Amino acid sequence: MRNTVKITVAIAAASAVALGASACSAPSDTTASSDKGDKNAPLVVAASPTPHGTILDFVKNELAAKEGLKLVVKPFTDYKMPNKVTDDGQVDANFFQHKPFLDTFNKENGTHIVPVQNVLIEPLGVYSKKIDKLADLKAGSTVSVPNDPSNEGRALKLLADNGVITLKPGVGSDAKLTDVKDDKGIKITELEAAQTAPRIEDVDAAIINGNFAIGAHLKPSKDALALEKAKGNPYANFLAVKKGNENDPRVKKLAKLLNSPEVKKFIEDKYKDGSVIPAFGPAKS
């Protein structure tokens, strides 16, 4: 049994952050409202393009007008900028993350973002262009995982649940690379989450977040070698705002629409492969 984890750090975040930063320079008509009480001002929401932006576009085009809500969707391709621009007021809200990620982000960056309404779960999956089953992973094989703490822990737990590696006793989805008890000779490579799908051919297998899998035209039910279980999954993605803006009437309208029967049907019809699952309800602070 091996006790040493081979770690190859290959962080390719610069380009993704640059893309996210460029998305911040938008025309003045898409900046957040300085008057949070103005129910007629557009609500500007930062979101990952898929599935979050896709769902918001559906709400914008099909449902928002009936509630008197003007919605502006600003896409971001990384996991850092949406919270930063929400915290500094460039946008009113964001929709892309789960609670463990947000808790870590707030702690590390001194931001004050709070969850408002749960909307969906995107099961994490193991994908490959080189092998057909997890049993094909041998000593010397490489597996990439997202490098942010919350999603890396999920990834390691998924590998452990499927017998690829062994974690130390008592370690769960908060696992770190140092918590791997036996790597079975497999090299674990850390990548910025947005790079796991584009660089899938650089490794033998990649653990990819649901939104990036969708963006790479991967179908979880067909292409994933293993998927997180949806039942009891604590990683619901939610609508979030800067603390103090939870009662903005526009935010409340959007929260209501994101949990509507129409959105539930839209998600179930569009993502029949199980890559996105409705997970409605109030989000816990």
Hey, how many other C-beta atoms are within 10 angstroms of the C-beta on 110? 8
User: What per-residue string of b and e applies to 180-192 under the rule 16 or more CB within 10 Å gives b?
Assistant: bebbbebbbbbbb
Cα angle 176, 20, 258 (rounded to 5 degrees) comes to 80
pLDDT score for 232: 74
pLDDT < 50 regions, the chain? 1-30, 34
Cα(203)–Cα(131) distance, integer angstroms: 10
Q: Are 165 and 143 in contact (CB under 8 A)?
A: no
Question: What Å distances lie between residue 43 and 74, 138, 140, 206, CA to CA?
Answer: 11, 50, 50, 36
| pLDDT score of 17 | 34
pLDDT tens-digit readout, 100-147: 999 999 999 999 999 999 999 999 999 999 999 999 999 999 999 999
Tens of pLDDT along 198-223? 999 999 999 999 889 988 999 888 99
Torsions phi, psi for 216 (to 5 deg): -95, 10
Domains (range + CATH), the chain: 7-14+124-227 (3.40.190.10), 31-122+233-282 (3.40.190.10)
CB 193 within 8 A of CB 146: yes
Q: Are 22 and 202 in contact (CB under 8 A)?
A: no
Taking the C-alpha atoms of residue 243 and residue 181, their distance in angstroms, rounded to an integer, is: 39
Q: Residue 1: what pLDDT?
A: 44
Q: Residue 18 has what pLDDT? A: 34
